[in-house]
Amino acid sequence: MQFLIANWKSHKTIGDAVEWMNIFTSFSLSSLSPELKIVVCPTFPLLAPIVNIAQNHLIKLGSQDISQFSVGAHTGEVSGENLSGLVEYVIIGHSERRINNKESEESVRNKINQAKSFSIEPIVCINANTNTNYDTNIIVFEPVSSIGSGHVDSRQHVIDFKSSLKKQYQHFLYGGSVTVENAKNYLERRIVDGLLVGANSLDPLSFFSIAKQF
């Protein structure tokens, strides 16, 4: 199985999200690799408006975060219970959240536990500074130098990092300024099991063009 994950970050209105889904699902999705699982991760308010479109076209939904706390008096948090039934996946420990929101290793592990307790599959992001063991099947290597910078990590660097992992995960993905032009570089010889795409997931045609590289 391979994964192609769209991280919309804080982009798009409800109308934009519905339009993206309608355009993307108008493409020939049946022509894509049968091994490929497509996961779309919008902001929390956009999940419910697009869940039916996603389900009708075998697209999986994921959230960009999850609360480290269980349901309760946690103003502003979105718990696993809140997300249950809406998403099958959740991105945890993205570099932007580790840096901008000062997420600790403890909170990352708490979020993994919360997700798993509601049968939501964690997609855990790591880099050279967070090479540790996580209780998850899916890991994304996102070099901090590549996030939103346009800098492309060499294939050898990705191979070396994968070899350095203290634990072998079921699915090893790459995320770092992924484009249509460089996607194949990482997918050749199954160096990675998929891609986490940020900016180039915002346009449905660009995202579909990356999907065709699998």
Tell me which of 35, 74, 88, 94 is the catalytic residue: 94
Helices (H), the chain: 14-24, 44-56, 80-83, 95-100, 105-117, 155-164, 180-187, 204-211
Q: So what's the pLDDT on residue 132?
A: 76
User: Which residues on neighbouring strands pair with residue 7, listed in sequence order?
Assistant: 41
Tell me which of 96, 103, 142, 171 is the catalytic residue: 142
Tens of pLDDT, residues 163-185: 989 888 999 999 988 999 999 88
Q: Average pLDDT over the chain, rounded to whole? A: 93
Q: For the chain, what are the domain ranges?
A: 2-211
Q: Can you point out the beta strands (E) in 120-192?
A: 121-126, 138-141, 171-174
CATH class of 2-211: alpha beta
For the cut 80, the answer to whether the pLDDT of residue 158 exceeds it is: yes
Parallel, antiparallel or unpaired: strands 89-92 and 121-126: parallel
Q: So what's the pLDDT on residue 79?
A: 98
| For range 29-36, the mean pLDDT | 95
Q: Give catalytic status of residue 142 as yes or no.
A: yes
Tens of pLDDT, residues 95-105: 999 999 999 99
| For range 128-146, the mean pLDDT | 84
Predicted structure pTM score: 0.94
For the cut 90, the answer to whether the pLDDT of residue 148 exceeds it is: no
**If we measure between CA atoms, which residue out of 164, 126, 159, 155 comes closest to residue 143?**
126
Q: Give catalytic status of residue 57 as yes or no.
A: no
For the cut 90, the answer to whether the pLDDT of residue 1 exceeds it is: yes
Q: Could you give the C-alpha distances from 213 to 29, 36, 123, 151, in angstroms and in order?
A: 13, 11, 21, 20
Q: So what's the pLDDT on residue 128?
A: 81
For the cut 70, the answer to whether the pLDDT of residue 37 exceeds it is: yes
* Least confident residue range of 13-22, 23-32, 130-139: 130-139
| For range 33-60, the mean pLDDT | 97
Q: So what's the pLDDT on residue 131?
A: 63
Q: Which comes out higher in pLDDT, residue 12 or 152?
A: 12
What's the rounded Cα separation, in Å, for the pair 46 and 180?
A: 25
Tens of pLDDT, residues 187-206: 988 889 999 999 999 999 99
Provide CB contacts within 8 A for 86, sequence distance 6+.
47, 48, 51, 61, 63
